Amino acid sequence: MLSKAQIKYIQSLQHKKYRQKFGQFIAEGDKIVQELLADRRSVQAVYATREWLLDHRALAESAAGIDIQEIAPPVLKQLSSLSTPHQALALVNIPPPSEPVLQGHVTLVLETIQDPGNLGTIIRIADWFGIRQIICSPDCVDAWNAKTIQSTMGSAMRVPVIVKDIPGLLTANEHIPAYAATLHGENIVQTPKITEGLILIGNESRGLSEAVLKLCHHHITIPRIGQAESLNAAVATGIICGRLLL
């Protein structure tokens, strides 16, 4: 059974401040907890309903050193940040920060992405296309937010997300080609396939800032045939990866 202090601790991890302080986050969702358990290295505890544990006992028991706790659905609801909580929840260590390796790789660079679902979906896209790392501006939504983790569908631990000042990064790496996604640039159909470079995606409503745009070598655009004002940021990232990396 969880103590009041444990419940309070887990709830505190709904806030970025405490995730940073304690270096842990909460992953919610049956499939994500399974994936994390299969991967194992970072999971410290699993809190799940009796039902879930019956279905996944072997997996949970094979995970040596992990604290497995059966909890009642009302307690799960208390711990969850979601309006419809899942059957299982894991307490996971945030991996130590790493330094980006830009040379010879394609890197996604995100400026002021605000929606946790978009960030999670972009992490999943990166994992699909074999992108080694994502760099986020300091004002992006936190990568260890429960909704972000949920949208990654298990890719969160495979693609490091590194927080950096974007203009500083571009200035320090001006020999690495930087491709800015904009509404009025070169048609992406004309852009040759790349094996090294930064692909920059901006905020959901405002796009990339002027400060970032002027530091990029290429301004690229997904041509619009119809009338939509814009594309969802994650969808735009997918389309650009589908043209530049395949």
Name the site residues for its own copies (rule: CB under 8 A).
Answer: 83, 117, 121, 124-131, 151, 153-155, 158, 187-189, 222-232, 234-243, 245-246
CB 199 within 8 A of CB 172: no
Q: Smallest distance from the beta carbon of 145 to its own copies, in angstroms?
A: 16
What does the DSSP assignment read for 164-178? Answer: --HHHHHHHTTTS-E
Cα–Cα distance measured from residue 51 to residue 29, given in angstroms and rounded to the nearest whole number: 14
Can you read off the two tokens belonging to residue 103?
């040379």
Q: Smallest distance from the beta carbon of 20 to its own copies, in angstroms?
A: 25
The smaller minimum CB distance to its own copies, of residues 45 and 219, is found at 219
Q: Smallest distance from the beta carbon of 64 to its own copies, in angstroms?
A: 24
CA distances from 26 to 8, 71, 93, 187, 228 (A): 13, 15, 9, 41, 36
The smaller minimum CB distance to its own copies, of residues 49 and 121, is found at 121
**CA-closest candidate to residue 2, choices 63, 94, 79:** 79
Q: Smallest distance from the beta carbon of 113 to its own copies, in angstroms?
A: 15
The smaller minimum CB distance to its own copies, of residues 71 and 85, is found at 85
Q: Smallest distance from the beta carbon of 225 to its own copies, in angstroms?
A: 3
The smaller minimum CB distance to its own copies, of residues 6 and 81, is found at 81
The smaller minimum CB distance to its own copies, of residues 104 and 226, is found at 226
Cα–Cα distance measured from residue 232 to residue 211, given in angstroms and rounded to the nearest whole number: 22
Cα–Cα distance measured from residue 246 to residue 238, given in angstroms and rounded to the nearest whole number: 11
Neighbour count for residue 98 (Cβ, 10 Å): 10
